[in-house]
Structure 1
Amino acid sequence: MRRVSKITAACAVTAALALTATACGESSTESSGSDKGKMKIGMAYDVGGRGDNSFNDSAARGLDKAKSEFGAETKELTAKSGEAPADREQRLQSLAEGGYNPVIGVGFAYKAAIDKIAPKYPKVDFGLVDSVSDVKNVDSIVFTEEQGSYLAGVAAALKSKDGRVGFIGGVDLPLIKKFAAGFQQGVLDTNPKAKVQIQYLSTGSDLSGFGSPDKGSYAAKGMLDKGADVIFAAAGGSGAGSIEAVAGKKGAWSIGVDSDQALDPSLSKYKDTIMTSVVKNVDGGVYDLIKSVKDGKPLTGTQTYSLAKGGVSLTTTGDHLKDIQAQLDEAKKKIVDGTIKVKATT
């Protein structure tokens, strides 16, 4: 992994190579060799897009699996930070008009756009990740982030030397607060005397907190200076900055999110300090929807991917959890059987 400034540069280079600009200023990548008989899948990513090493990349893995398995044609478009709501609507509409089915909006920020556009295309199946829509032809794909984060909190409390840990959220939205709530509960249930620092990188409609590695690094350094030795960042692309900062502090651990960040080539330099990652298997939800459309029985309504269903989990890359695995297994069992009820708000 490079310094933060180089992280941003690398993302830009990757984007330049993989994506082409469209008229409306967004990024897209499209498979070649269009065939009328092929399944066509449209993916609208959130800010950061493919290559964010986190949430969007998890969705991309589901798309890639389906593309390979079904020989599908795909088109991928990416949101820009600070764009108008109409831009998301236009993105979804262009995919529907282009004959793509399903059309998947990755991220809660697509809810309003899908609520508006999906009814206009009743023969197109839409997917919405991380939010719930009541429109009939929409499959809402949601996860129990708080449950996976609870396990991360247990791990943090057991690994911390003095019980000082931190949580960095990309934006102070209900979805990210689910991560914070579960993490804090897991820490305090394990060590009631622990101290949990919680910080968000941006607020409200400002989604820059999901794509600013420099902000992630700055926040992590502040927590490290206050004694934290385990930091969990649920902040999209900004998490790379946090992971880098934590790696610079001897004895400190970072916890990744959404993807197994210890396996990310761009973070390989820091894999020995990434204790675990709270994986949200967005790829599974995306693949399930695509397969259901391929099979002629499209999923609709709300599909909840819980800890019990493997929707969320902790990674074990590097065997850093080996010494505490028994405690983690016990906590998981209690969540699954209902003995532990994990809060979704702090």
Structure 2
Amino acid sequence: MAKSPEEEHPHKALGWAARDSSGVLSPFPFSRRENGDDDVTIKILYCGVCHSDLHSCKNEWGVSSYPLVPGHEIVGVVTKVGKAVTKFKVDDKVGVGVMVSSCKKCDCCKQDLENYCPQMMLTYNSINHDGTKNYGGYSDMIVVDQHYVLRFPDNMPLDAGAPLLCAGITVYSPMMYYGMTEVGRHLGVAGLGGLGHVAVKIGKAMGLKVTVISTSPKKESEAINSLGADSFLVSTDPAKLKAAMGTMDYIIDTVSAVHPLLPLLSLLKLNGKLITVGLPEKPLELPIFPLVLGRRLVGGSDIGGIKETQEMLDFCAKHNITADIELIKMDQINTAMERLAKSDVRYRFVIDVGNSKL
């Protein structure tokens, strides 16, 4: 006989949820499933605040289902493991990123590309096979299949490392896939926010020359002196744009607002690559002439599989790469979301869940 919802989801949890497209979050009690044979139960200590959380809370992509508990940059400690779990034990430091399930059988899954599986389930705002909803990391605990849990490096701080579970893999994966790793090549990073500042650090660790492309001149000093970029280009300065035309091998476009692509394409050399990872709520205009005349490529990328995400964490730990964060308590999340909408954060909010009153 099928189990009742109360039997399937007996673990009481507390989180903060948006109830409608106003995006305002407030305390929300709910339940998690029982720890199964392949499951890991995690006490959440930190959760990064991604720009996609803001999009989702306000239903700016038109796919939000309320109530919605955001959060997919989750770090914590294991409190329970199922009898079939071999990868983790109680008290291990672990992370959970953007996805918590996939079919494990399709070509994508067999290639360690679970993030492209047609049955991939997001950490939040997705529906399980039993009809129940997935709730994210703005909460005190979570239960996840061991396959989708990541080992957190011992030398990586949990709070500043949390955003790497989304921001880190979002820029690392396209750099690896599109071959944007040749030492000495020139990488442009468009947008210096949560994704962009991590892209600068990873690019420099890979031996690339890195130029930050931004609309904000006031970010120049921090880009060069704090983050280690080699140069800074103000994208609203026509003279500087003209001088930089045809100088870059690759550009990672992290901008999540609607913006023109033509200026970025003009910066690329012959055979240059423009890879977009930001997700604006409206379509962008793609001019074809610069692509054809410069044999340039425009591509996209969506996080990475579990194997690659672990590789990214280990790479960042080896090179002492973390996110620059502002630590907040859970009851400060609405103010943080308002600031995030104005790009008023250097560079990622992280919720100190373990020390917050939920």
Q: Which has the higher helix share?
A: 1
Would the TM-score normalized by the shorter structure come out above 0.5? no
* TM-score category (smaller protein): 0.3 to 0.5
Which of these two proteins has the greater Rg computed from alpha carbons? 2
Q: Which has the higher strand share?
A: 2
TM-score (ref. length: structure 1): 0.34
